[in-house]
Structure 1
């Protein structure tokens, strides 16, 4: 990949600099897949461009993007390299939390984000009930003769291989639940590359462990008794990111189909045209894929606009209903997008025949990545929840899946 100049301020939405960054990430995606290469260089470019500050107000050194614009960028990143989009997932969730904070002491973290730093989360523990926030963390801070120390292991800590800071959920010395923010490279923080998924292979979604990591008083971010206000459906933000990433991969599938047909020099046996691009059967396949990509993107952006309305209503009587609406739209979008994308990533092979199954074409990465992203929560659960709501008015579950 070509080198990008380091930015003096955060990239802004729809700027040439942002497009240059996305093109830069896309240019190396197939080579990384070929070489099993972790995208450290791509993430370095993200930091240099200060993409992580996209949502910060311009007056705070950010890009000033709206929430809907952020999801447009996630779609574009998903089309460029869905691994890179996924790596940034926790960071942008943390940014949203900080933007809603009214605590002056949180301003220092926004300053770090404005400078290009990336944040990751370390909360999930392997024996915790899925979606629950009530379980006691086994990862704990204890008092030792040498001071406070953090020990434990977190799982599914996506992106932590690449970030500068970690927000860690832990049990404090008094038994209460806390969050601490520590440098990702502090002594005793272990970030092995042990994620072995067949898709999204370079997201670093494995374990993060803490072996007698020093904890200082200034590392404390929040305590259970003074947590920031929570949104009615806090997980909508994160799961809409997943829908946006899949929509992005589907866009890439459609673009690949166009390029493959244009590049073909031989027609199928019994083809109605000797020129592949003039073959109505191939035109149908390309048109179908492009239409499916459009539908997926439209669903994501409609839901993003609804979520933006809910965020704007924070603290008002309308917030609960608007948040429910956004969560409901996101659930409906997932049911449709998963179905479209999994089918489309297989139908892509209809435009080129057996030659497209060569490993060197790397077209299987689309199905592998879509399948891995979609597996974060089943569309069957979402469809059932939507059906219950439509039939009986039953509110959506309010936990990790929603």
Structure 2
């Protein structure tokens, strides 16, 4: 399926976009309503990033559009998208606003787990909420756990309370949860039993704090979540040993999603570069052309950015094809499923290494197009590098490269937790 055509910021600015747009059904990858939504998101992205305006209005539009139901079957109220179609949308959303794309990353990761797990009444209930527009957030990380991404839980615990439980503890880096309707939390049930709970974010005793102060991805709500004597019902607790728990050891989606967002950032850089050239009123006295648009050096730079965008998108979608193969392998036996999961995890790890590098190099090339005047704070063009660098810092590339090398040399399986 061809990608949506590139559009310039001028074309976006010329559109009259109504933020009260009504959606009669869940948006699909090819629906005009989705393009209108993405145009609206792109229109305010730079201003939101510069002035730290949290995108609550945008997330509400996403909720109403039921974008979060892309992967849910049509019969169940979703768009029924393939993984490739889904990641095409991820790239387009990353192009429009990487903050917004990152906000819904955990939503899609949890939704994918629910879809992959054995059907049950509670899984169907949560998927129905997503089909109706609910957004799911995440609370996993504890600073007391010294090996990040291990899945271990130290302080967030359930204690019995009648026919249910009480939840107490603190989580960090809860990306997107301040915007969410439900939150997915890893907990201890006993000293050696780990489980997951999915509960409404508005429940009494949940405190969501926006205290993320990173130089990039400033609007993702990647903050602290505190649970104080929060009521949890018995059927809201998924033990890792339950039949309807997701048993796949590889956690591919979270990392590939971030890589898709970085691919989207390169598209945004390309758009900004072409826009800068068309609006550039002057050039250097020793330039070889009077008009910036006719300068072969600037043309070469934009050509390189276009090639970077194409390569990044192609790599991400090739890895996403593995997720479709993984879906098709369901029911073929555990051995076949694990083999495809390993291959897909390997593809996603390789994709990260290349796409992150392309994103950071592209963000630097942008300033070769615009010159010193484009470094003004008001232009906010540094947001591309800041955001790409922050996204790339999730599970740093040298860890990925080492794991890939160990696999290629020694046949050592990739890690089965964290971002693999």
User: What is the TM-score with the length of structure 2 in the denominator?
Assistant: 0.91
Match of 1:198 in 2: 215
Q: Does 1:165 align with 2:165?
A: no
- Name the CA shift for 1:223/1:336 in 2 (closer, same or farther; >3 Å): same
Deviation for aligned residue 1:274: 0.1
**What does 1:125-164 align with in structure 2 at a 5 Å threshold?**
125-128=142-145, 129-133=147-151, 135-143=152-160, 148-164=165-181
Distance 1:48 1:136 in 2: 34
- Give the match's secondary structure for 2:97: helix
**Which of 219, 232, 237 is 1:215 aligned to?**
232
**What does 1:65-144 align with in structure 2 at a 5 Å threshold?**
65-105=81-121, 106-128=123-145, 129-133=147-151, 135-143=152-160
Deviation for aligned residue 1:112: 0.7
Distance 2:411 2:285 in 1: 54
Deviation for aligned residue 1:2: 3.5
* Structure 2: 5+ residue stretches without partners: 1-16
Match of 2:369 in 1: 351
**Which of 182, 189, 197 is 1:180 aligned to?**
197
Contact preservation (8 Å) 2:110, 2:136: yes
**What does 1:309-320 align with in structure 2 at a 5 Å threshold?**
309-316=325-332, 317-320=335-338
Deviation sequence 1:350-397 (CA, Å, 0-9, x none): 011110000000100000000000000111122222222223333222
User: What is the TM-score with the length of structure 1 in the denominator?
Assistant: 0.95
Deviation sequence 1:163-199 (CA, Å, 0-9, x none): 0011222122686322222110111100011111110
**Which of 398, 401, 406 is 1:388 aligned to?**
406
Contact preservation (8 Å) 1:137, 1:177: no
Q: Does 1:9 align with 2:25?
A: yes
Deviation for aligned residue 1:315: 4.0
Distance 2:249 2:263 in 1: 26
- Name the CA shift for 1:174/1:336 in 2 (closer, same or farther; >3 Å): closer
Contact preservation (8 Å) 1:138, 1:152: yes
Match of 1:330 in 2: 348
Deviation sequence 1:242-284 (CA, Å, 0-9, x none): 1100000011001110110111121123000001100001001
Contact preservation (8 Å) 2:360, 2:385: yes
- Name the CA shift for 1:76/1:186 in 2 (closer, same or farther; >3 Å): same
**What does 1:37-52 align with in structure 2 at a 5 Å threshold?**
37-52=53-68
- Name the CA shift for 1:232/1:31 in 2 (closer, same or farther; >3 Å): same
Match of 2:357 in 1: 339
Contact preservation (8 Å) 2:254, 2:419: no
- Name the CA shift for 1:82/1:136 in 2 (closer, same or farther; >3 Å): closer
**Which of 58, 63, 74 is 1:58 aligned to?**
74
Contact preservation (8 Å) 2:164, 2:234: no
- Name the CA shift for 1:263/1:184 in 2 (closer, same or farther; >3 Å): same
- Give the match's secondary structure for 2:330: coil
Distance 2:76 2:400 in 1: 38
- Give the match's secondary structure for 1:181: strand
Distance 1:16 1:376 in 2: 33
**Which of 326, 338, 362 is 2:380 aligned to?**
362
- Name the CA shift for 1:388/1:49 in 2 (closer, same or farther; >3 Å): same
Hey, which bits of structure 1, 4+ residues long, moved more than 6 A? Answer: none
Contact preservation (8 Å) 1:143, 1:173: no
Residues paired across the two proteins, number: 399
Deviation for aligned residue 1:216: 2.5
**Which of 311, 321, 325 is 1:295 aligned to?**
311
Root mean square deviation of aligned Cα: 1.8
